[in-house]
Amino acid sequence: MKIRTQFYLLIAGIILIPFLMGIIFFLIQKRNAPVSLQPIPGYEEIVKIAGNAINREAWDQISDFLSRRPPWADFIITDINRTILFSTLSNFPGGTKLSDSELTQYIRDNSHHYIFQFDAPTRLSNNGLLVITQALREKKRPPNPVERFIQYGLISLLTLLIFSITMSIIIANSITKSVLILEQATRRIAAGELDLEVAVRGSNEITSLTSSLNRMRLDLKEDIIRRSRFIMGISHDLKTPLALIKGYTEAIRDGITDDQASKSRAIDIILSKVEQLEGMIDDLMDFVRMDTSEWQQHLIEQPFLPFLYAFCKRVSIDAQLLHREVAFDLNIPEHTQVKMNEALITRALENLISNALRYTREGGKVQITAQLENRAMNKSAILVTITDNGIGIDQEDLDRIFELFYRGTNSRREAGMGIGLSVVKSIIDSHGWKISVFSNKQEGSTFSITIPIFS
């Protein structure tokens, strides 16, 4: 049970227990309260039995007297002739005569259970009205209302105290156990036990952190693996051009390349490898920059069409030098604003275009399109596609093409470290955009970038 739910139960119990106890005590009191089984008749009914032998004033005094008696007591009212005017005892119905012997025998038979009292409550001495009261011997005077309130209040307070202590112990144990589990697991993970899976016990907010802790553990493990691959990849890919640079430099120094043509060829190779190293370093800087949030401070909202048009014009000229064609069709409003880091987006698009031109045969074509799409809930997005008719990508490579240092089947003979598309995806994702790829072998590939537009 979640800790929040446990606290809600505690608060609900504190509020409801006194209320429920009050209802319970009220029902118990109502159930145990004595009820007068028969109402006192009016003067008109008594006249029918006694005639004019009793006047209204006398009966009013009798009624007033009976109203002050305990409700659990039974009564017999007789006139001067011992005619029963009113009775709550079934043995002595109203309108019948009550003989002294019959009354004496009744009292003798029931005196061990009841007490009997005889009263003549009227001021008129000649009316002969007599009130005989019967009450249980064990009946006590009702408790004082203040005493009863204190009694019920103490019981409610005790119940509330027991409930609060019990819930507090349950909540404390739940929190303590969860914290201890997390503390022990965190300590072991901090010590390097990244293969330790934290068991999830319970379902409160703290134990739910174990799922986050397990995800963090797996992310740390994956990060260490990525870092190892990163270092190994850099070491391997930088070693090849550095070895060539070193070899040709030593050849020039040792006089092995003694003629001018050999020296020029060696220097050209050294320069090309230096340029290759510069490209690798640029990729590394872009990749490392994606792991920080500083670059996001340079996101600027600007019109997207002029930027994309200038980029397309430039790469179309570059493609002509490689005997390839870059065509573009941009159908987006000129005023459409996009928040972006222009340098990084340029870097990402250049990488995609460079790959498209590299894997497109001489005379091939690369098509760049951009259009504004209206989507659900009045949202819009710009869809940018880069399509080539080159050699395509193997299906086995499509799912991993954006992974760091992954080299596809077609690129394993190419120079580079395999982080280009990883950098592209990092740039696109960090802008809140989306990138996807579709490809058929020997038919070409299409990279699609979806840019959400926020009004």
Residue 184, pLDDT > 90, answer no
| SS3 of 170-232 | HHHHHHHHHHHHHHHHHHHHHCCCCCCCCCCCCCCCCCCHHHHHHHHHHHHHHHHHHHHHHHH
- Region 103-132: mean pLDDT is 78
Kindly report the number of other CB atoms within 10 A of residue 231's CB atom. Answer: 10
Pairwise CA distance, residues 339 & 177, whole Å: 48
338-359: pLDDT as tens digits = 999 888 899 889 989 988 998 8
Both tokens assigned to 59: 């009966």
The residues facing 339 across adjacent strands are: 301
Pairwise CA distance, residues 256 & 258, whole Å: 6
Both tokens assigned to 389: 């008719």
Mean pLDDT of the chain: 79
Kindly report the number of other CB atoms within 10 A of residue 291's CB atom. Answer: 9
- DSSP letter at 296 equals G
In which element (H, E) is residue 339 found?
strand 337-340
Pairwise CA distance, residues 14 & 17, whole Å: 6
Pick the CATH number of 294-453 from 3.40.50.800, 3.30.565.10, 1.10.357.10, 3.30.470.20: 3.30.565.10
Does the domain at 43-136 match CATH 2.60.120? Answer given as: no
- Residues 74 and 90: beta-carbon distance below 8 Å: no
Q: How confident is the model at residue 417 (pLDDT cuts 50, 70, 90)?
A: very low
220-273: pLDDT as tens digits = 888 787 777 767 766 766 777 788 888 888 888 888 877 888 888 888 888 888
59-78: pLDDT as tens digits = 777 777 777 777 678 888 88
**According to the model, what pLDDT value does residue 12 have?**
82
Could you tell me which CATH class the domain 209-290 is placed in?
mainly alpha
**According to the model, what pLDDT value does residue 411 have?**
47
Phi, psi (rounded to 5 degrees) for 98: -115, 110
Kindly report the number of other CB atoms within 10 A of residue 145's CB atom. Answer: 8
Return the percentage of the chain with pLDDT > 90, whole number: 16
Pairwise CA distance, residues 111 & 137, whole Å: 9
35-43, long-range: CB < 8 A, 24+ apart: 35/71, 36/71, 36/88, 37/88, 38/88, 40/66, 40/67, 40/86, 41/86
Both tokens assigned to 37: 């089984």
Find where tokens 């080539």 sit: 388
Residue 310, pLDDT > 90, answer yes
Phi, psi (rounded to 5 degrees) for 2: -70, 150
Q: Residue 277's closest CA among 236, 232, 241, 247? A: 241
- Helix-helix angle 342-358:260-290, to 10 degrees: 130
The pTM assigned to this predicted structure is 0.49
Nearest 5 degrees, angle CA 373-CA 375-CA 377? 145
**According to the model, what pLDDT value does residue 324 have?**
92
Q: How confident is the model at residue 418 (pLDDT cuts 50, 70, 90)?
A: low
Cα 51 to chain centroid distance, Å, stands at 83
